[in-house]
Amino acid sequence: MKKDTYQSAQMVVERLIEDYGQDVLKIAYLYVKDQQLAEDIFQEVFYKVMKNYHKFEHLSSEKTWLIRITINTCKDLLRTSWLRRVTTFGTLEEQNQTQYEQPFDMTQSESNNELYEMIMKLPQRYKEVILLFYYEDFSYDEMAKILNIPKGTVQSRLARGREKLKKMMEERGEISGR
């Protein structure tokens, strides 16, 4: 990479980190539930951005593009055998099941923490739309671009995810069925 191209890419990355760095870190943490891994993903995401910003076509917002890279990086990490080798059996599942320290002020009460834990138990396709919609305030169109799926699929996954959460809450006796 030429020096001037490198410097301009570096300036773009610095601006993106300032504007969206917390969003990237938060999404990474929501996926992997480990602060250290989330920070590693953060670094990997911005390395990819620096390397590939010239390919960004501006068909979506920079934030949408960054979140998509973040989610794909998280999914890649969770799929790899590397993660299975560096985490002991059950470690990530145990983190799902127990109280853990959140680096973000997402769960302010015990009931919110319980809801978050239920969300994390959902299948990936429902979990990601619920997190993007409720925790990140993305629109259906933005989520469709981030996840590379049709808007109707986003809407149906969100509806099914809500139904699954409702059923989980009914089973726990937190709400009564109709």
User: Mean pLDDT per 10-residue run, the chain (178 residues)?
Assistant: 69 94 93 90 95 87 93 87 51 43 47 80 92 90 93 97 93 69
Tokens of residue 119, six digits: 């969300």
Q: For the chain, percent helix, then strand, then coil, each to nearest 5? A: 75, 0, 25
List phi, psi (to 5°) of 7.
-65, -40
**pLDDT score, position 101:** 41
CA distance linking residue 126 with residue 156, whole number of Å = 9
- Domain's final residue, options 82, 100, 118: 100
- CA-based torsion, 15, 72, 31, 140: positive or negative: positive
What confidence score (pLDDT) does residue 3 get?
A: 61
Matching residue, tokens 């799902």: 96
Q: How many domains does the chain have?
A: 2
pLDDT reported for residue 62:
92
Shared domain check, 157 and 76: no
- Contact between 97 and 111 under an 8 Å Cβ cutoff? The reply is no
DSSP string computed for 18-36? HHHHHHHHHHHHHHH--HH
Last residue of a domain, which of 67, 100, 133?
A: 100
**CA 174/CA 150 separation, integer angstroms:** 33
Where among 100, 119, 145 does a domain terminate? 100
State whether 96 and 110 are in the same domain.
no
What is the pLDDT at residue 106?
45
**Domain assignment of residue 161, given as a range:** 105-178
